[in-house]
Amino acid sequence: MRQNRVKRILKEGGLALGTYSGGIADPQIIEIIGHAGFDAAFIDMEHTSLELRDVQGMVLAAERVGITPIVRTPGFDPALILRLLDIGVEGIQVPHCDSVATARAAVKAVRYPPLGERGMAGASRASDFGKIPLAEHMERSNREITLAVMIEDLPGVEAIEEIARTPGIDIVAVGPSDMSRALGVAGTSDHPRLVATIERVRRAVEEGGVARLALPLNHPAFPRDAGQLKALGVGYANVAPNPESRLLRALAQDLEKARAQLG
C-alpha cells in the first residue's frame, strides 16, 4: 500500500483539499480531479447509484494520479467497508455517527487486530494479490487507511466528546446540511445554533487530540474559505460543487454567451 496523501497532510498539520466525484460512474472523473491538483477524490456511495465495481475503477484511477480515494458509505455496513478496503480504498467515511458505540464499531471494521477486527484476506488487491506479506499488509493498512466519522445528528453532538477521543479515528467531519436540518434551521446561512454546534465539535476534536476536524469549503450553511477553515483547525475539506453542477454551469454560461452573440 502506498502512502496515503491525505493522512500525510493531516499528520503534518496541513489542510488537505478534496472534491466530489459526483454520480458519474467513470474513472476519468477521478483522473481529472487528480490532474487538477486535488489531494483526494470524495466518492459518495450514500447519495449516488455507484456500485462496488464502479468504485474499483475509480480507485485504480486515483492510484494512477496519486490522490487519495475516500468513500462515503451508505450507512454503517462492516461487510461493505471490508470489501471497499480489500479493493484498495484508502479512506472510509461513515455517515451519521450518532454514538461512541458506532465510532468504536467503525474502528473495529476498518482496522486490523490489535486495533480492530477487520477480516483478513491474504490475496486481496489491497495486498497486491498476496505479494505483500500479510503481517506487513496489516501494519501498513492500520497506518495508512483514513477513517472519518460524520456528525450530522443531535445524538452525535451530545456524544461528541467521547467520539472525538476514540482511538483509531482520523477525521471527525461535520455535515452542515444534515446538521442544519437536525437543528431546525435548514435553509439559513451562519445560523447561530449551527455555528455554536460546529464550535462544540471543533473544541471536542481539539481537546481529544486524536483526530482532525473536517468541514466543506464555502458551504451555503457555513460559508468559510480555506484560510478560515485552517484557522479553525480543519484538516480536510471538500471543495464544492460536484462535477455535474460544474459542467451544467459551464455549459449554460457558454450557451448564453453564444446566443448573446447572435444579437
* pLDDT tens by residue, 32-87: 999 999 999 999 999 999 999 999 999 999 999 999 999 999 999 999 999 999 99
pLDDT at residue number 122: 79
The Cα 28–Cα 91 span in angstroms is 19
Cell numbers at residue 262, please? Answer: 447572435
pLDDT score of 154 more than 90: yes
pLDDT score of 220 more than 80: yes
Per-residue model confidence as pLDDT tens digits over 91-149: 999 999 999 999 999 999 999 999 999 999 879 999 999 999 999 999 999 999 999 99
Quick one: angle between helices 100-110 and 78-86, nearest 10? 30
Out of 3.30.1600.10, 1.10.1060.10, 2.40.160.20, 3.20.20.60, the CATH code matching 5-260 is: 3.20.20.60
Provide, for the chain, the percentages of residues in helix, strand and coil under a 3-state DSSP scheme, each rounded to the nearest 5: 50, 15, 35
User: 225: phi > 0 → left, psi -120 to 50 → alpha, else beta; which?
Assistant: beta
Residue 47 known to be catalytic: yes
* Catalytic residue of the set 47, 96, 137, 219: 47
pLDDT at residue number 222: 97
Residue 1: band (very low, low, confident or very high) from pLDDT cuts 50, 70, 90: low
pLDDT at residue number 129: 95
